[in-house]
Amino acid sequence: MLFVSASGYAKTAPSGSKSSSKAAQGPQPISGPVSGETYVVRKGDSLIKIARENQTTAKALKAANGLKGSKIKAGQKLVIPGSQVAAAAKDAGKPKTKSAINEELAAQYISQLRSENEVSDLESQPTRLRLVEAGFKLLGVRYRRGGSGKTGFDCSGLVKSLFSEFNIDLPRSSREQYKQGEEVDRDKLEVGDLVFFSSGGTRPTHVGIYVGDDKFIHAAVKARKVIVSDLNKIWYTMRYLGARRIADLWWDDTETAPEEP
């Protein structure tokens, strides 16, 4: 429990009020610090000491009070930031981890995808958009030749794994995946279509999933992880082979499911 006389908190009240009378009688117990609470600096205080007593940080105190340095003097009033302010100030100078960066990227892509397709929540989205969102959440997962799990993917393994999440069974290799569905022209690509590339000849050696805005998500060998790339980059333009649309991914974009064979 903190006390006014011990912590240096100053509570102002009208002269002659009941609270002023109580303050004159002796220290009164108060609850823990909240955002905007005022602390009166005492002799011997330092920012670090005040921060420790009030469960915040010196950096947060500086930010909340517009202090450029660490010098304070007795009688000076300081605003004690709330826990959220303190946490933000504490983390402000920390470099972001790869995981945090990937999460931010995923959130950015997902938000853009929902906005462009005029849907606000996961449940109202068609399967192909939910599949792409699931792909965004794998951004940064490492590339692993032959991999098809969250510990690592190669390009066709990523595609197969994502489609499997939505009960759509695709072959394992990009060559076999290229034989699935129907062919789609480059200028008619839609979210969820598979895009294929070849490093030479007419057989695909790489595959990704189109996410809109001339972008696709894939497990990239050179980047050694799952990333989003631009179809208009010269490497992909020169090696672009074609695209395929998997009908099963589109059934709930219409009001009827595909007919049974």
Give the active site residue among 206, 225, 244, 245: 206
CB 188 within 8 A of CB 243: no
User: Catalytic: 138?
Assistant: no
CB 124 within 8 A of CB 114: no
Phi, psi (degrees; rounded to nearest 5) at 82: -70, 170
Give the active site residue among 61, 85, 155, 189: 155
CB 138 within 8 A of CB 158: yes
Q: DSSP E strands: which ranges in the chain?
A: 2-3, 29-30, 37-40, 77-80, 148-149, 152-153, 182-184, 194-197, 206-212, 215-220, 225-230, 240-245
Which residue, among 168, 207, 213, has the nearest Cα to 190 in the 3D structure?
A: 213
CB 5 within 8 A of CB 24: no
- As to burial, measured by CB atoms within 10 angstroms (0-12 exposed, 13-18 middle, 19+ buried), residue 88 is middle
Give the active site residue among 218, 225, 244, 245: 218
User: Catalytic: 155?
Assistant: yes
Kindly report the number of other CB atoms within 10 A of residue 8's CB atom.
20
User: Catalytic: 206?
Assistant: yes
- Which three-class secondary structure state does DSSP give residue 60? helix
- Which three-class secondary structure state does DSSP give residue 126? coil
Name the residues annotated as catalytic.
155, 206, 218
